[in-house]
Amino acid sequence: MERVKRAKLAELFRKDYVQTVIMVIIAIVLVIVFWFGLRAAFRTEHPLLAVASGSMEPVLYKGDLILVQGVQNALEIHVAPKDANSPGDIIVFHKPTYPPDLIVHRAVGNDTDTSYYLITQGDANPGPDGWKVRESDIVGKYTGVKVPLLGHIALFFEPLQVKVAFILLWIILLIILELVPLSREKVEESQTETKPL
């Protein structure tokens, strides 16, 4: 009885669609492990980020994929104008106003009147941003590592509707790829059964 169960299980795992499902699950698990590993290694929720605008040109361009390192507190961030001998750090932060989008700008100053705030500015912008960044809004600082253009893929999938449509298309494609060979096998079987000798 046990041998029959093992044989059936082995036969099931030899089927293409089961192998495809297993490979997809393994790929998903590897991506999740990689993502959480990056988050832990760089101490931030957003270790990889696509630059969404041209406000940091010529240092960062729209579509650049950047690597972000988390910071323990705002004092780790070097603050200075972009034209200084040692320009301020480029930081990633949640915009203090609604919606709280992620912004990539340079820390150009600070305000310590009541508590510690950073003043930020995009390198391509004529003046500082119209808000002050609290320490709790800081995601991290740019490490200097970027991959040009690769961020366009992430920007394309930004809206939820696009993500859902993409996942549905993949599921439909996998189903079609599994059903077409099965239907061919059935046609071939019926043809071999009906052939006269």
Name the packing angle between helices 16-42 and 160-194 (round to 10°).
Answer: 160
Q: Which domain holds residue 139?
A: 48-152
Last residue of a domain, one of 119, 134, 152: 152
Q: How many domains does the chain have?
A: 2
User: Is residue 108 domain-shared with residue 59, that is, in the same domain?
Assistant: yes
- Mean pLDDT computed over 125-131: 95
Q: Which domain CATH number covers 77?
A: 2.10.109.10
Q: Does pLDDT of 182 surpass 60? A: no
Average pLDDT, the chain: 86
**168 in a structural domain:** no
Could you report how far apart the first and last alpha carbons of the chain are, in Å? 39
How do residues 60-79 score in pLDDT, each as one tens digit? Answer: 999 999 999 999 988 899 99
User: Is residue 13 domain-shared with residue 61, that is, in the same domain?
Assistant: no
The pLDDT assigned to 160 comes to: 72
The pLDDT assigned to 189 comes to: 64
In three-state form (DSSP H/G/I as H, E/B as E, the rest C), the secondary structure along 52-66 is CCCCCCCCCCCCCEE
What phi, psi does 110 have (nearest 5°)? -140, 160
Q: What distance in Å separates the CA atoms of residue 191 and residue 197, rounded to the nearest whole number?
A: 12
How do residues 27-55 score in pLDDT, each as one tens digit? Answer: 889 989 999 999 999 999 999 999 999 99
Tell me how many helices (H) and strands (E) the chain has: 4, 7
